[in-house]
Structure 1
Amino acid sequence: MTPATPPPLFSIVPLGLFGPLASANRAHYWLLLCRLFDEFFGPDAPMPPTQGFPRREITAALERYLLADDPWEDEDGNGPDAPLNVRANAIYERFRQAGWLRQDKVGVREMATMPPVVSQLLSLLIEFGERGPTFVSAKIRSVELQLQQVVDGKAGGEALDEAAEQARRLLASLASMSLQVRDLMPELSRSETTAQFARQWFERYVGQFFIGDYADLHKADHPLARRSAILAMARRIETSALRDDLLGWYREHLTQGDAERAEARLQRSLRRLRELERIDEYLARLDEDMRQANRRALAFLDYRLRAPDKLDVLLRRACRGALHAREDALRLPVAPGPLMDASQLRPPRRKPPLIPRSANAVQLPTPEQLARLSLMRRIKRARLVTPEDMARYVGRHLPASGCVDCAQLDIASIADLRAYQTLLTLALRGHRAGGLRRDDPVSRLLRGFRVELVDAGEPCDNGWLRAPRFVLHLLTPRQCRTA
C-alpha cells in the first residue's frame, strides 16, 4: 500500500457493520450499543470472561434496557406489540448479523463476545461523540516530550509515530474549530427570542466550541512557543544517525522489511511534525473567526434589545394606514386621538384563576372481580407446597417402621398431587452427581425424612403420573441432627 492509497477499511471491519447505524432506528441502535459497551465490553466494564458472556445474559440486558427506557415508536406514537424477550432477541440477532457481536458455541452454550476490532471502532466513535474543547498546551507538551525521548535514545519509532499523529490531530482540530464557529452563527441567528439566543450563545459557542486554553495561547510562556524546539528536534532526527535507527524500526515493525515503504512512513511522520510551522496561520484564522462571531453576536443582541417587539408588524400597519388615510390626516406624524391619555396606557396584567383541584375517583371492584381474585388466590395456594404441607402429607403415609414406597402414596386432591410431584423432584435431584445441593430451594422441604430414587423395576403409575419409583425413609433423631 503506497502512502496515497486509502486504508482498506472494509477488509478490517465486517461489511454490514454500519447497517444498524444507517437504518431508520439508528439512534435507538446506537443507544443500545453504547449501553452494552459500557456494561460488558468497554474499558470501564469488569474483565470479560475468556469465552465470552452467555447469550441469555446479553439478551437479558437488552430486555432490561427496553423495560427501563423503550424509545421505539411507530408513526402513531405506539410501541411495538411483540413481547419484550422476542424484541431483545431480534435486536441481538441484528447486532450479530451486522458484526457488532460474535457468537461462539462452547459445548451446548452459546457465548457472545465483541470482536476486538469492532470494540476499538466503537470506542473511537464514543470518544468522537464526547469530544469537548481542545487544550492545545497539553498536546504540544506531549509532542515535545515524546520527541525528546526519541532524541535522547530512550524511545524508538513508536514515540515518533505517536508524536506525528498527535501533531496532525491538533492541526485538524484547529482547522475544524473555525468551520464550527462559522457554521454556528447562522443557526444562532434564527433564534426566536433574545433569551434563547443568549442561552445558546453561551452554552454552545463558549462552552463547546471554545478552546480550553484560548486566552493563554499568545503568552510567552505558553507551550505553543516551544514549537521551535519541536521543529529543531525534527530536523535533528532527519539529519543525524537517529534517522537510520528509526528507519530500521519502521522497516522491522510496520512494513515487514519493505525499505521503500519504511522510508515513506518515516517521511510522512517528519512531514506531519514540520506542519506545526503553519500553526500560526490556523490560529490567526481562528482569531478572525472569533472576532467576527463576537461582532455579529453583539450586533444581534443590540438590535434585539433596542428594537421594539414585532417591529415589522408595526411598520406594515403604519404603511397601510398612511396609504389609506386622508390628506389632512397626514399633517403630523402622530396617531389620532390625544397624545397623553390614560386609555393609551397598557392595562395591568391579570393572573388567570387557579384551576380547582379534585381528587382522583376511586372505583371499587365488582363482586365478580372480587370472586375471581379470591378464586385465583385459592388456586395459587392449592398449588403451593410449604414445609408444613409436606410434613402433613408425609406424616399420613410414612409408618413407624421407617420407609414407604411411592405406590402406597394416595392422591385425593390437588394439594396431594403437588406434594407427590415435589417428592419426585427431590428424588430426581438427589440422584444426580453431587446429590441435593444445600442452596437448592426444594431442600428446605426435607424435615425428618429423605427420598431415595429406585432405578430397578417398572415406573410407578398412580393414575395421575407415570414416573420413576422412589421410597421415603424416616430419619432418626440422630440422623436429623447430622443432616
Structure 2
Amino acid sequence: MDQESVAPLFDRLPDGIFRPLGVANNRRYWDVLSRVMATLWGEDARAPGEEVTKTIVVRVIESCLIADDPWEGELDTPAGIQSHNIYKTFTESGWLSVRRRGLVDMVTVKPRIGMLFTTLSDFARQEPEYIGGQVRSILLNLRSVNEDSTDPNACSAYQIAAKQARQCMAHIVNTGCRVQDLMDGLVELESARDFVHGFFTDFVERVYIADYSELRTRNHPLQYRSQIIEKTYELMEDPAAQDRILSWYTEQIGKGDAEKGRAAYQRDTGQLLRLNNIEDHLARLDEEIKSANHRALALIEYKLRAPKHLDKLISRACAALYDLEEGHPALPGDVHGSHWSDLVLAKPRRATRIQESTADVPVELTDDELAMEWLRQRIKENRNVTPIKLAQYVVRMLKDMPRVSSDEFEITSINDLCCYLNLLLIASRADAPQKMRRDDPISTKLRGVRIRFDDEGSTDNKYMTHRRFVVVREGA
C-alpha cells in the first residue's frame, strides 16, 4: 500500500489520546468525558476552542461524580480529590488543553479533538441513517457542475457528490453488518421476553423499517441512481466540463500537480459509477435479512414450545455423562461408549410409505353442473381483456375521430366495462417514468394510440367518477 494512502491519524492527535480509553476503567472515563463534553462544549454550550476556567471543569467533573458516580464506590477517594485526578488524566492524555492566562488556568477542547469525540459518539450510537436525501443531493450536485460554468468553485460539487456516493454504498454494506451484529447479540439472551423485545425494537424498528423497507418500494431512494450514472458519463464525455473539473482538481486537490489531480478525479468518478452495481449489495442485504428472520422465528418457536428451564436440564444431563461410569443404567446402551454421536442423538428414521396408485373413476356431470360450468366459462370470457378486444373497443369508440375523451365512451356490456377500466389503468401509468413504462405489460397492451389524463375536469358516468382521460391517435 502506498504510504500516502494511509491516513495520518497519529500526526493529527496527541500521543496519549487513547490512554484513558485503553485502561481497565475505560468505560468510566468515557462516561465522565461524555458528560463534561455535553455540559461545557455541547450543542447548546460553548464551541470547541472556547476557553473556560479550570475551576469550572473540575466542578463539572465533581458534580458528575456526586450525581451518578460511574466508579460506584469502588474507590475510597473523596469526590474532590478524585475529580482533580480525572481532570489531570484528561489534560495529560490530550482530551483537554490548558493555557495559562495570568494566574488562571484556562481549559478548552481543540477543534480536531472535538471532531474526534463527535465521530466516536456517532459511531457508538449507530442511529439509523436515511439515504434518500443523500441520493437526491448527489444528483443535484452533479447537475450544479454545469449550471454555472463561469464559477470555478462549482466543480467542488463533483467531489461532494463522490463523497456522498461512497457514504451511500458504505451504508448499504454496513446495514448487513449491523443485522449480523444485532442477531449475534440477541441469540445470546436467555429470556424469550428480552429476545422478542430486542428483535422488534433494535432489528425491526431501527434497521428494517428505517432503512431496508424503503429500498423495496417503488419510490425507493435509489431510483435516481440511473440518472446519476447518466449524468456522470455526460460530464465525462463533455470536453469543456471535464477540463473545468480537472483544472479544479489539479489546483485544489493536487496543489498544482496534474497527475495527483487526475488520480483524485478518477477515484471520485469510480465512486459515482459504483452505484451502478448497488443491486449486488442489495441482494446480499436481502440474504442477511432473510437469514435473520429465519433465526428469529426458529428461536422464538423454540422459546415458546420448550419446557421451562429445558436448557438447564440439558446442560446438567450433559455434564452428568462425565461423572457416570460406562455401563451405568442411566446411560444409553449399545452405543459403544459414544454418547454424543449423531447416531444416538438423532431422531429414528421412519420407513417411507409406498404410495399405491388408485384407479381413475369416471365422473358423469349432471345437466345442472354442466350449465354452471358453461356459465363460469362465459363469466371468465366476458371479463378477460385481450389486446385484440381492447383495440376493437377503442376503434369502436374512436370511429373516424382523431381523439375521444372518456366522457364519450359507451359501456354496454361487462366486457366494455373491463376494457374501460384497462384504459383508465393505462392512463394512470402515463405518470410513471419512461423507463418503467417501457417494460410495463399494461402500457404495452394497446398500440397506435396515446392515452393520458386531461388536466381539467373529470368523468362522471353511472359506474364511477374519475379523472378525465383522452385517447388520441398517434400522428393526430
Alignment TM class, shorter chain as reference? 0.5 to 0.7
1:13 maps onto 2:8 in alignment: no
2:156 to 155, 158, 169: 158
Matched with 1:273 is 272
3-state SS in 2 of match to 1:185: helix
Residues of 2 paired with 1:47 and 1:116: CA distance? 8
Residues of 2 paired with 1:3 and 1:263: CA distance? 19
Please list the CA deviations of residues 97-140 of structure 1 after superposition, one character each: whole Å capped at 9, or x if unmatched: 11111111122221111111111111111122223123232221
Return the letter of the residue paired with 1:12. Answer: R
Matched with 1:222 is 220
Q: Residues 110 and 309 of structure 1: is their aligned pair in 2 closer, same or farther, counting only changes over 3 Å?
A: closer
Q: Residues 192 and 107 of structure 1: is their aligned pair in 2 closer, same or farther, counting only changes over 3 Å?
A: closer
Residues of 1 paired with 2:310 and 2:74: CA distance? 45
Matched with 1:40 is 40
After superposition, residues 380-391 of structure 1 pair within 5 angstroms as: none
Please list the CA deviations of residues 192-225 of structure 1 after superposition, one character each: whole Å capped at 9, or x if unmatched: 2322321221122223333514323233333311
Matched with 2:110 is 115
Return the letter of the residue paired with 1:18. Answer: F
Are the counterparts in 2 of residues 234 and 274 from structure 1 also a CA contact under 8 Å? yes
3-state SS in 2 of match to 1:105: strand
Q: Residues 30 and 143 of structure 1: is their aligned pair in 2 closer, same or farther, counting only changes over 3 Å?
A: same
Please list the CA deviations of residues 304-349 of structure 1 after superposition, one character each: whole Å capped at 9, or x if unmatched: 33344455749979x978979xxxxxxxxxxxxxxxxxxxxxxxxx
Matched with 1:467 is none
3-state SS in 2 of match to 1:7: coil
1:142 maps onto 2:142 in alignment: no
Matched with 1:232 is 230
Q: Residues 298 and 222 of structure 1: is their aligned pair in 2 closer, same or farther, counting only changes over 3 Å?
A: same
Residues of 2 paired with 1:81 and 1:171: CA distance? 50
1:180 maps onto 2:178 in alignment: yes
The Cα shift of 1:49 comes to: 8.0
1:87 to 82, 107, 117: 82
Whichever of the two has the greater Rg, that structure is: 1
After superposition, residues 396-435 of structure 1 pair within 5 angstroms as: none
Residues of 2 paired with 1:205 and 1:149: CA distance? 38
Which of 35-44 and 119-128 deviates more?
A: 35-44
Are the counterparts in 2 of residues 250 and 266 from structure 1 also a CA contact under 8 Å? yes
Residues of 2 paired with 1:151 and 1:208: CA distance? 38
Residues of 2 paired with 1:22 and 1:246: CA distance? 45
3-state SS in 2 of match to 1:82: coil
- Percent identical pairs in the alignment equals 34
Which of 149-158 and 226-235 deviates more?
A: 149-158
Are the counterparts in 2 of residues 42 and 119 from structure 1 also a CA contact under 8 Å? no
Residues of 2 paired with 1:221 and 1:110: CA distance? 57
Q: Residues 244 and 43 of structure 1: is their aligned pair in 2 closer, same or farther, counting only changes over 3 Å?
A: farther
Would you say how many aligned residue pairs link Structure 1 and Structure 2? Answer: 318
List alignment gaps of at least 5 residues for structure 1: 325-483
Return the letter of the residue paired with 2:9. Answer: L
Q: Residues 186 and 82 of structure 1: is their aligned pair in 2 closer, same or farther, counting only changes over 3 Å?
A: closer
Matched with 1:67 is 66
Residues of 2 paired with 1:2 and 1:159: CA distance? 27
TM-score, reference length from structure 1: 0.60
3-state SS in 2 of match to 1:156: helix
Matched with 1:345 is none
2:195 to 194, 197, 209: 197
Please list the CA deviations of residues 168-204 of structure 1 after superposition, one character each: whole Å capped at 9, or x if unmatched: 1221121122123234334333332322321221122
List alignment gaps of at least 5 residues for structure 2: 321-327, 334-476
Q: Residues 27 and 190 of structure 1: is their aligned pair in 2 closer, same or farther, counting only changes over 3 Å?
A: closer
The Cα shift of 1:282 comes to: 1.0
